[in-house]
Amino acid sequence: MSKISYPVIILNYKNYEQTIGRRGLALSKIAEEVAIESGISIAVCPQTADIYLIAQEVDIPVLAQHVDANNTGSYTGNNLIETLKEAGAIGSLVNHSEHRLKLADIESVIQKSKKLDFYTCVCSNNIQTSKAIASLEPAACAMEPPELIGSGVSVTTKPELVIQTLSAIKEISSAVQPLVGAGVTTSNDVAEAVQMGAQGVLLASGFVKAKDPKEVLQQMAYALKK
Amino acid sequence: MSKISYPVIILNYKNYEQTIGRRGLALSKIAEEVAIESGISIAVCPQTADIYLIAQEVDIPVLAQHVDANNTGSYTGNNLIETLKEAGAIGSLVNHSEHRLKLADIESVIQKSKKLDFYTCVCSNNIQTSKAIASLEPAACAMEPPELIGSGVSVTTKPELVIQTLSAIKEISSAVQPLVGAGVTTSNDVAEAVQMGAQGVLLASGFVKAKDPKEVLQQMAYALKK
Amino acid sequence: MSKISYPVIILNYKNYEQTIGRRGLALSKIAEEVAIESGISIAVCPQTADIYLIAQEVDIPVLAQHVDANNTGSYTGNNLIETLKEAGAIGSLVNHSEHRLKLADIESVIQKSKKLDFYTCVCSNNIQTSKAIASLEPAACAMEPPELIGSGVSVTTKPELVIQTLSAIKEISSAVQPLVGAGVTTSNDVAEAVQMGAQGVLLASGFVKAKDPKEVLQQMAYALKK
Amino acid sequence: MSKISYPVIILNYKNYEQTIGRRGLALSKIAEEVAIESGISIAVCPQTADIYLIAQEVDIPVLAQHVDANNTGSYTGNNLIETLKEAGAIGSLVNHSEHRLKLADIESVIQKSKKLDFYTCVCSNNIQTSKAIASLEPAACAMEPPELIGSGVSVTTKPELVIQTLSAIKEISSAVQPLVGAGVTTSNDVAEAVQMGAQGVLLASGFVKAKDPKEVLQQMAYALKK
C-alpha cells in the first residue's frame, strides 16, 4: 500500500497543531484504518520532521509538504528528495498555494523526482497554471482556487472551473492525474469532485479539524467507492 | 547532555550525501562518542527529515538547519518550532548563508524560540550583521564570511575580522554566545578560534567529508580542552 | 533643497493609482509648494519609473521605494543605486513592510549607499528590528507597526512603543535619525510623533488619498514648525 | 515604430554600467538608427528608472526588465504595469533567468498584461519551461539556457535544443512568438537562430559591451534582412 492508486484522498497536515508529532501519527493511523477497510488510496502529508515517525508506523503513502530541487551538496535547510525518500516519504506536494515556487524550480523538482521514482503532486491555482503544470508532466496536478482554501466552501461549488481544468489537464497529458482541492469538507464534496472528473481530492482542515476525523474520512472514502 | 555548553562544536550536515539517513546517524554516533570521551559539547544539525531518527538514537544536542517563524495553522511546508522540538531538536541554525532570511523573520524566530525554550544559533556574514543579530539576542551568533564557507581556508586566517566581530557581539549583549565558522578543517583552526575569543565553531565539510571524521573531531575536541 | 533636513515628512506613493505618472508629479508639486512655504523638509517616494519625471520637475528630495544591493553587471530587473541617482533620486526607502529584505541585503545596501552618498531610510517593524537596523547605521530608521499601516489608526496611539523605540535607536547610534510611521493621517498624529522624539514621519494614504492633499500636508508641516 | 514586429532584436541593458542614464540613452539612439536604416524591429530594455528618459527620446519599443503582477494599491517598491506604460514602456521582460518568478506570478502578469495591452516576453530556461510558458500565452517566449547567458557561446551551438524548443512552443500556441537568447554575440549567431525558426533574439552583453555597438547591431539587423 505504499503506492498511490486512484481515486485518492490526499490529507495535508499543514502546520496544524492537531498534527504535530504523535498527534499526527494518531491521525495517520486513522487514515490507514480507513484505507484498509475501504480499499481507497489515502495519503498523508505530515510536516517534514514527522515523516520518519509516521512512515515507520503506518503502511499508507506518506508525502512531504515541500521538496527542494537541488542535488546533494552545500545547501543548508533544504529538503532533499534523497533524504525524504530514506525517511519514508514516497513523494511530495509541490508548489502548494502556501508555498509557491518559481517555475524553473517546479520543473527541476519534477525532472529530478522522475529520475528518483519520487511522486509529485504539483498544486495549481487556476486553469492556466494547471495547463502549465500539466505540460511539465508531474505525477498529479491538484488545482486549488486560493480563495477557497480553508474556507469551508468547496471547490466543487465552481463546477465549470473544475470541469474545464480537469479536461485541460487531460488534454495536455493523460499521464498527469488531475486532482482538485480547497474547501473540501464533506463526502458530498468528494463525490462531486470525482463525478466532475477528478481522480481524487486534496484536503486539510476538513479532516484535521473535524470533530470526528475518522467518521469524516470513512464517509469520504465510501463516497469514492460508489 | 541535551543542552549546549561552551565551548561548543556545531556540525552542520547540510545536504551532503554522506549525511543522509543512516549515514547521518553513524556520523552522529561518532559525534556522541567524541563528546562523551572529551567532555566537550558537540551538536549536530541533520536535515529536517533525519532529526527524529538521530535524536532518538544519540544523547547529544540535535539542531535543525532552518526553522520558520510562523505559529501553528494554515502553513504548508514550513518547519514549525513545536514540531522540531517534539521530533527531538533542541534548537536550530537560523539565517545560514545558504538559507538567508528576512530581518523581520529572524527577529520573529528568535522571539518565538525564547518563549518555547528553543536554542537559536543565528548566522551572520560580517561585523555589521553580527551586531544587528546580537541586538536581537539569540542564544548564539555564528559569524561566517561567505567567501570562506566550504573553501578549506579557515575564518581564523582573518584574525582582525574575528576578534573585532567577537568583541562587537560581546559589547552588545553578554547573553549572546559568539561563534565563528567557514573553512574550519583542522584542530588548529578550532584552537585559534577559541584563542581569539570564540565560544565555539560551526563547521560542515571539515567533518562530514573528512577521510576519518572521528579522528578529526577528536583532535578538534582535544584542542578545545586545553 | 535636495537634501533632507529634520524634522522631515516622507511621502510614500506606493502603487496607488492616484500617484501614477503625471498624477504623482502633481502631488509632488503640492509637496514642493508646502515645503517652500513652510520651510519643512518634505520628501516624496514615487514608483521607480516615475523618479526621472518627478525629479526633473520638483526641487525637493526624491527617494526610491526600493533599491537593490548589487553592483553594476549582469543583473536583470534590479534597481541599481547608480541608476536611481542619475535619474534624480537622492536615496531610497529600504525594507518597507511591503517589501521586506534579507538582513544581509539590508546591510549591503546601507554600506553601498554610504560609499555613494545615497540616503537610506530603513523601515523596521518593532523595537527589536529597530535596534538591529540602528546598529547598521543607515541615515534614518522608520519604525512602522505592520498592523497599523494603512489602518488610519496612528502609530502614536502606542506612545510607549514609539518612545521606547526612538530612545533605543538613539542609544545605539546618534547618527541614525529616528522616524515613525503607520496610520499617520492628521497633523495631530505628526505633532505627537515629534513630541515623542521622532525626527519625522513616513506616511502614504494619509496624504495620497486625502480629499485635499495640500491642506492635509500644510497642516502637518505647520504642526512640525511649532 | 512603437510596436514590435518580427523578426525582432531585443536588447537587455541589465545593470551594466555602460547603460546607466544618458549612456543608455546613447545606446538607444544607436538602436533607433539601426532600426530605421534596416527596417528591422529593435527593442531596448533599460533599467526601470531609465525608461522615461529613453522612451521620450527614441521611437523604438522600450520594454521594462521586470514587472510585478499586483494591481494598484498598497504595494511598495513594485513595478506596476500601469506606471511602466505611462512612463513609455510598451511591455516587459518577465521571468528572466536573473529574476525568476513564481509560476502563479508569471501567469498573473501575463493575464493582466493582456487586459492592458502590454507586451510580455517571458523567458524560459529549457524545453519544458518553454512549453509551460507557451501554454500561458504571453506575446513571446525567449528560451535562454542559463549556463550560456553572458558566456559568449551562442545558444545556436545547441541546434537540437533550439529547434525542439521552437517547435514545441509553436505546437502549443501559434500566438506565442518563439525567441532565443544566451551568448548571442555575432550576426552569424542571429542568422542561425532565425534559420532554426526563431522569430528573433534576446541579447545583452553582445551589444552593450561590444567595442562598436552600432556596427555589431547593424550586422545583426542585416543578417535578419536576408
Q: Is residue D3 domain-resident? A: no
Measured in angstroms, the CA of C124 and the nearest CA of chain B are apart by: 8
The domain in which residue C186 lies consists of 8-225
Q: Is residue D139 domain-resident? A: yes
- Which residue, among A35, A5, A14, A9, has the nearest Cα to A185 in the 3D structure? A9
* B150 contacts on A by Cβ (under 8 Å): 74
Instruction: Identify which of B102, B129, B133 has the shortest CB distance to residue C100.
Output: B102
The total number of structural domains in chain B stands at 1
pLDDT grade, residue D1 (50/70/90)? Answer: low
Measured in angstroms, the CA of B129 and the nearest CA of chain C are apart by: 7
Angle, helices A127-134/D127-134, rounded to nearest 10 degrees: 160
**Residue B58, Cβ neighbours under 10 Å: how many?**
23
Instruction: Identify which of A101, A136, A172 has the shortest CB distance to residue D102.
Output: A101
Yes or no: say if B209 and A73 are a contact pair by the CB < 8 Å rule: no
Q: Between chains, do C77 and D66 touch, taking CB under 8 Å as contact?
A: yes
Residues B45-65, mean pLDDT to the nearest whole number: 98
Digit-coded pLDDT (tens) for A200-225:
999 999 999 999 999 999 999 999 98
Q: What is the mean pLDDT of chain D?
A: 96
* B95 contacts on C by Cβ (under 8 Å): 103
pLDDT grade, residue A1 (50/70/90)? Answer: low
Residue written as grid cell 505525477: A139
Q: Is residue C2 domain-resident? A: no
Q: Which residues of chain C have pLDDT under 50?
A: none
Angle, helices C22-38/C213-225, rounded to nearest 10 degrees: 30
Measured in angstroms, the CA of A64 and the nearest CA of chain B are apart by: 8
Digit-coded pLDDT (tens) for D19-55:
999 999 999 999 999 999 999 999 999 999 999 999 9
CB of D175 less than 8 A from some CB of A? no
Q: What is the rounded distance in angstroms from the CA atom of residue B155 to the CA atom of residue C93?
A: 34
pLDDT of residue A225: 83
Measured in angstroms, the CA of C60 and the nearest CA of chain B are apart by: 31
CATH code, domain carrying B152: 3.20.20.70
Cell of D192: 542561425
Q: What is the rounded distance in angstroms from the CA atom of residue B6 to the CA atom of residue B179?
A: 10
pLDDT of residue A158: 94
Cell of C127: 523595537
pLDDT of residue C150: 82
* A104 contacts on D by Cβ (under 8 Å): 97, 100, 125, 129
- Which residue, among B91, B81, B2, B8, has the nearest Cα to B46 in the 3D structure? B91
Cell of C14: 506606493
Q: What is the rounded distance in angstroms from the CA atom of residue A78 to the CA atom of residue B46?
A: 11
Is residue A82 scored above 80 in pLDDT?
A: yes
Is C99 a catalytic site residue? Answer: no
CB of A22 less than 8 A from some CB of B? yes
Q: Between chains, do A102 and D104 touch, taking CB under 8 Å as contact?
A: no
Digit-coded pLDDT (tens) for C13-71:
999 999 999 999 999 999 999 999 999 999 999 999 999 999 999 999 999 999 999 99
Residues B92-98, mean pLDDT to the nearest whole number: 97
CB of D164 less than 8 A from some CB of A? no
Measured in angstroms, the CA of A107 and the nearest CA of chain B are apart by: 18
Q: Hey, which residues of A are catalytic here?
A: 96, 144
Residue written as grid cell 524560459: D124
Count the alpha carbons within 13 Å of C209 in the hemisphere toward its beta carbon: 17
Chain B 113-142, residues with CB within 8 Å of chain C CB atoms: 125-126, 128-129, 131-136
- First-last CA distance in chain D: 21
* A76 contacts on B by Cβ (under 8 Å): 12, 14-15, 65-66, 93, 96-99
pLDDT of residue A70: 96
Q: Is the pTM of this model over 0.90?
A: yes
Q: Give the H/E segment covering residue B22.
A: helix B22-38
Q: Between chains, do C80 and D20 touch, taking CB under 8 Å as contact?
A: yes
Instruction: Identify which of D51, D72, D93 has the shortest CB distance to residue C49.
Output: D51
Q: What is the ipTM of this complex?
A: 0.95
Angle at CA of residue C208, ends C202 and C212, nearest 5°: 115
- Stretch among A164-173, B179-188, D147-156 having the lowest mean pLDDT: D147-156
Which entry of B66, B96, B107, B192 is annotated as an active-site residue? B96
Q: Between chains, do A73 and B15 touch, taking CB under 8 Å as contact?
A: yes
Is residue B1 scored above 70 in pLDDT?
A: no
Q: What is the rounded distance in angstroms from the CA atom of residue D168 to the CA atom of residue A136?
A: 12
Task: Go through D62-89 and write b for each residue having 16 or more CB atoms within 10 A of its CB, e for each that does not.
Answer: bbbbbbbbbebeebbbbbbbbbbbbbbb
Q: Is residue C1 domain-resident? A: no
Is residue D102 scored above 70 in pLDDT?
A: yes
Interchain touch C–A (≥3 Cβ pairs closer than 8 Å): no
Angle at CA of residue C121, ends C224 and C76, nearest 5°: 145
Q: What is the mean pLDDT of chain B?
A: 96
Digit-coded pLDDT (tens) for A111-149:
999 999 999 999 999 999 999 999 999 999 999 999 998
C104 Cβ neighbours under 8 A, 6+ residues apart:
B97, B100, B125, B129
Digit-coded pLDDT (tens) for B154-165:
999 999 999 999
Which entry of C96, C137, C192, C215 is annotated as an active-site residue? C96
Q: Is residue A1 domain-resident? A: no
Q: Between chains, do A89 and B149 touch, taking CB under 8 Å as contact?
A: no
Percent of chain B whose predicted confidence (pLDDT) is above 90: 95
DSSP 3-state of B114: helix
- Best mutation target among C95, C98, C103 (most B Cβ atoms within 10 Å) is C103
Q: Is residue C3 domain-resident? A: no
Per the DSSP assignment, residues forming a β-bridge with C41 are C8
